[in-house]
Amino acid sequence: MTTFKSSARERCGGMTLPETMVALGIGSIVLAVLASFSFHSGRSLAAMGNYVDLDNTSRKAVDLITREIRQTASLTDYQTNILTFADYDGTQLQYIYNPTERTLVRVKAGTTTVLLTECDSLEFHIYQRTPQTGTNNFYAATTAPQCKLIDMYWRCSRSIFGSKFAGDKANTETVQTAQVVLRN
């Protein structure tokens, strides 16, 4: 019968320095990958949240503006950033874009309501109801009383984690366009 005797030194085996260094290196790489994934996931989640909020706000604004413009009596004054209407109830209704404050506001009967914030650009254009022959385009109106169609365009954006500068991918934006025919 063969018996094996091992020394005390062999029984108390532990990790050697090279084994510890390899384990530490692999653990560091795994932690770096997890941290990078967490940062990217958080950034993507913030971008999606911003986009949903901006899109929801833009849709609500275009729905309100469209509904109210269709009910107005007439357009009384026009600028590319201000529309003034005689409303159905005889009061004045205005939509005013302020590029400095990046807001679109609605003013009616002395009450101001902010419809859009963080709006980078907004333009209104007015057209006659008559389409140009052979196209889907309309003739431009030269005065407010000629206007029967209003074309709106705006672009809103929001930064992610406070980072927004030219060429930066760390922002979210939404673009909205609409054409509204005056019914009256």
Q: Which residues contact 76 (CB under 8 A, 6 or more apart)?
A: 84, 85, 86, 92, 144
Q: Maximum Cα–Cα distance for the chain, whole Å?
A: 115
pLDDT score at 77: 94
Residues of the chain with pLDDT under 70: 1-13, 161-170
Pinpoint the alpha helices (H) of the chain.
8-11, 17-71
pTM greater than 0.95 (yes/no): no
pLDDT score at 172: 76
Q: Could you tell me if 143 and 127 are in contact, meaning their C-beta atoms sit under 8 angstroms apart?
A: no
Domain locations along the chain: 16-181
